[in-house]
Structure formats: C-alpha cells, structure tokens
Amino acid sequence: MTIITNYICSEIDLPMCKYISDSVCRCSSRYEMIGNLKIYSPTFLGLALSNIGMIYWMVEHVKKMCSTIGRSEMKFFYYLYALSNFLMLVLVSLKDQIEKIHFILTTIQSVVSTMCVFSLLVGSFTQDMFVGKWGIQSTSILYLSTAIYGFFSTIVVFFGLFCKISLPIFLICFILNFIFGYSYYVIQFRKLNKIRGEIWAYGTILISLIFFLLSCACMFINSTFIAVLSDKYIDNLFFHCLFLFCAVVMIHKFWLSVCDYEVECLVLDV
C-alpha cells in the first residue's frame, strides 16, 4: 500500500502527502510573489475561487426551488464541497502562512472531503424518503449518518497522519471515496431505468461519471507531461479539482433534469 501511496504523491501534490509519503511531486505548479506574499499554484487559486463562486450560485439556485425533492440534501452536499475547496485553497496556495496549523487543516480537509462524497451517496436515498424512517425525518438521517461517518473518519485520518501510516488514509480518502462516488452513479442509473427517465438525464449523469473518473485518473497519470506542456503553470492537482468540479456541475444539472417542474420544482416568486 505504501508503494501505491508513494506513486500517487509523486504525481499529485496533495497536502496529506507531507505526512504519509516520502515521495515528492517534482512537477507541482510554480509559485508567484504578490508583494511579500508567496502564492503557490496561482492557477489553482483562481480555479478554487471560481469553484466556490459557482457553488454559491448553485446553492442560491437550489434555494429558489422551494418545494423540490432533495433540496436539503443538495444544499448540504454543496456546503461540504465548498468547505473542502476553501480548505484545499488555503493548504495549497498559502501553505507557508499556515505552517503551524497545516496538520490540523489537512486533517479537517481530508475528513470534509470524505463526508462530502458520503453525504452525496446517502442523500440519494434520503431524498426519496418523504417522512424518513423510525419517526426520524429524512434530512435528520442524512445529517446524523454523515456526522457519525465524519467522527470515525476523523479518528482514522488523524491517527494515520499523526503516525505517518498510509494504509488508513489510503482506505478512507481514496478507496472509500471512489466506492461511494461510483455507487452514487450506479444508483442514479438504476433510478432512471426504474422511472424510464429521459435520454437527456442519462447523458447528463454519464458525462458526470466520465468527469469523476477523469479526476481520479489525474492522480496516476504522468505529471511530467502536463508540467512540460504548461511550463509548470498547471499541474495534476489543478486538473483533478477541475474535473471533479465539472462532475459536480453535471450532478446539479442532472438533479434539475429529473425533477417535475410542474410540482416539485415550482419556483415561487414572492
């Protein structure tokens, strides 16, 4: 497992690699000086800020869908995703300024990213529960299950980073994240088959799946090739986050495409 982790960290400069791997990505993006402030990977900084801005727009869009099924689930997912992007922005572009709290922020970011994918999967179930289970509201099931998963993830991630053991980090942040993400797409395809969804919905979720797989592939492909072509202005981390954001945007479009705009997605103008 250490061999795989070392290979990943040699291809993509993830913040956690500082604690779980001896390998260093030599093809990470260059830095720029703004006054006395050193900004690492300014292209990633711009991407992360754009992502957060777009997430804000999507949240506001969801808020307008006042009676939409799954509205709370989507907002919760977007909030976690925005927080993960913000923490990644700080860890990547401002790592010199946060050196004393780098470990804490890395732990939080790793846990939030796992909670984000987990909430997306659980939300795909709870959004179909109009009244929930066992007298508990469906959104409460989502929040509670995500909080429990986040608690155990925090213990595992903290232990792995603190003791510099790559196995628990690899299982939580790579294997389980991929399984949860891929399971979400499988469930959506099965739902579309069940309700005989329109062809556009199939296309949207398929494109999202392709972007998701591309974001995973960016952790393994040859980073040297990207660095040479971009003169080290762009690296694998940039494309990983870019493709992942594209997948999230297509999930948003998919969620809108499977709604009944005459009932569930009625926009109320007050």
Which residue has better confidence, 247 or 32? 247
**Does 53 map to a domain?**
yes
**Does 108 map to a domain?**
yes
**Does 270 map to a domain?**
no
Q: How confident is the model at residue 11 (pLDDT cuts 50, 70, 90)?
A: confident
Cα 229 from Cα 235, distance rounded (Å): 10
**Does 121 map to a domain?**
yes
Residue 269 has pLDDT above 50, yes or no: no
Cα 158 from Cα 114, distance rounded (Å): 13
Q: Which amino acid is at 8?
A: I
**Does 264 map to a domain?**
no
Look at residue 149 in the predicted model and tell me its pLDDT.
96
Beta bridge partners of 254: none
Cα 252 from Cα 62, distance rounded (Å): 9
Residue 130 has pLDDT above 70, yes or no: no
Look at residue 261 in the predicted model and tell me its pLDDT.
47
Residue 184: name the closest of 246, 119, 237 by CA: 119
Cα torsion 240, 242, 248, 253: sign: negative
- Go through the chain and tell me how many residues it has: 270
Digit-coded pLDDT (tens) for 180-210 = 999 999 999 998 888 776 788 899 999 999 9
Q: Which amino acid is at 83?
A: L
Look at residue 31 in the predicted model and tell me its pLDDT.
80
- What integer is the mean pLDDT of 11-22? 88
Domains identified in the chain, total number: 1
Burial classification of residue 41, based on how many CB atoms lie within 10 Å of its CB (0-12 exposed, 13-18 middle, 19 or more buried): buried
Residue 115 has pLDDT above 90, yes or no: yes
What number of CA atoms fall less than 13 Å from residue 84's CA on the CB side? 20
Burial classification of residue 48, based on how many CB atoms lie within 10 Å of its CB (0-12 exposed, 13-18 middle, 19 or more buried): buried
Q: Where are the alpha helices (DSSP H) in 24-101?
A: 42-64, 71-93
Chain centre to alpha carbon of residue 63: 21
Look at residue 252 in the predicted model and tell me its pLDDT.
92
Residue 144 has pLDDT above 90, yes or no: yes
Digit-coded pLDDT (tens) for 44-88 = 999 999 999 999 999 998 888 765 677 888 999 999 999 999 999
Residue span of the structural domain in which 81 resides:
2-257
Report the b/e string of 52-88 with b at 16+ CB within 10 A.
eebbeebbeebeebeebbbbbbbbbbbebbbbbbbbb
Cα 238 from Cα 221, distance rounded (Å): 13
Inter-residue contact 15 to 88 (CB < 8 Å): yes
User: Residue 136 phi/psi, 5° resolution?
Assistant: -105, 135
CATH code of the domain in which 169 resides: 1.20.1070
**Does 245 map to a domain?**
yes
**Does 227 map to a domain?**
yes
**Does 262 map to a domain?**
no
Which of 31-35, 206-210, 256-260 has the largest mean confidence?
Answer: 206-210
